[in-house]
Amino acid sequence: MYINILGSAAGLPSKTRKTQSIILDMVNEINEYFLIDVGEALQHQLLKTSIKPSKINHVFITHLHGDHIYGLPGFLSSRAHQGGEGKPLTVYGPKGLKEWLDITFSVSETTLNYPVDFIEISDGDQFKVKNVDITLKKLNHNIDSFLYIFKEENQKGALNVDKLKSEGIQPGPIYSEIKESETFMYNNKVYFTKDFLGPEIKGRKIAIHGDTRPVEDINYLNLINHSDCIIHEATFLDYEYEKANDYYHSEIHKVLDIQKDLNVKKYIFTHISNRYEEDFLRQFINNLPNDILIAHDFLKVEIPRKI
Based on the domain organization, do 174 and 143 belong to the same domain? no
pLDDT at 42 over 90: yes
Q: What pLDDT score was predicted for residue 143?
A: 98
Based on the domain organization, do 146 and 165 belong to the same domain? no
Query: Is there a domain that residue 307 lies in?
Result: no
Based on the domain organization, do 121 and 175 belong to the same domain? no
Based on the domain organization, do 139 and 168 belong to the same domain? no
Based on the domain organization, do 14 and 150 belong to the same domain? yes
Q: Once rounded to an integer, what is the mean pLDDT over residues 139-153?
A: 97
pLDDT digits (tens, 9 = 90+) for 47-66: 999 999 999 999 999 999 99
Active site includes 67?
yes
Q: What pLDDT score was predicted for residue 13?
A: 95
Q: Once rounded to an integer, what is the mean pLDDT over residues 146-154?
A: 97
pLDDT at 307 over 70: no
Q: What pLDDT score was predicted for residue 217?
A: 95
Q: What pLDDT score was predicted for residue 110?
A: 93
How many Cβ atoms are within 10 Å of 191's Cβ, its own excluded?
16
Based on the domain organization, do 24 and 170 belong to the same domain? no
Average pLDDT, the chain: 96
Q: Once rounded to an integer, what is the mean pLDDT over residues 31-52?
A: 97
Q: Is 209 labeled as ligand-binding?
A: no
Beta bridge partners of 7: 21
pLDDT digits (tens, 9 = 90+) for 172-194: 988 988 988 999 989 899 999 99
Q: Is 68 labeled as ligand-binding?
A: yes
Q: In which domain, by residue range, is 184 found?
A: 161-196
Q: What pLDDT score was predicted for residue 180?
A: 87
Q: Is 65 labeled as ligand-binding?
A: yes
Look at residues 170, 196, 222 and tell me which one is the last residue of a structural domain.
196
Query: Is there a domain that residue 123 lies in?
Result: yes
Query: Is there a domain that residue 213 lies in?
Result: yes
pLDDT digits (tens, 9 = 90+) for 204-259: 999 999 999 999 999 999 999 999 999 999 999 999 999 999 999 999 999 999 99
Based on the domain organization, do 77 and 109 belong to the same domain? yes
- Out of 25, 67, 144, 228, pick the active-site residue: 67
Query: Is there a domain that residue 6 lies in?
Result: yes
**What's the structural domain count of the chain?**
2
Q: Is 249 labeled as ligand-binding?
A: no
Based on the domain organization, do 47 and 167 belong to the same domain? no
Q: Is 63 labeled as ligand-binding?
A: yes
Worst-scoring range by mean pLDDT, 29-38, 196-205, 246-255, 261-270?
A: 196-205
Q: What's the CA dihedral at 52, 17, 204, 224 to 10 degrees?
A: -140
Based on the domain organization, do 271 and 292 belong to the same domain? yes
% of the chain beyond a pLDDT of 70:
100
43 vs 169: CA distance, rounded Å: 52
Q: What pLDDT score was predicted for residue 274?
A: 93
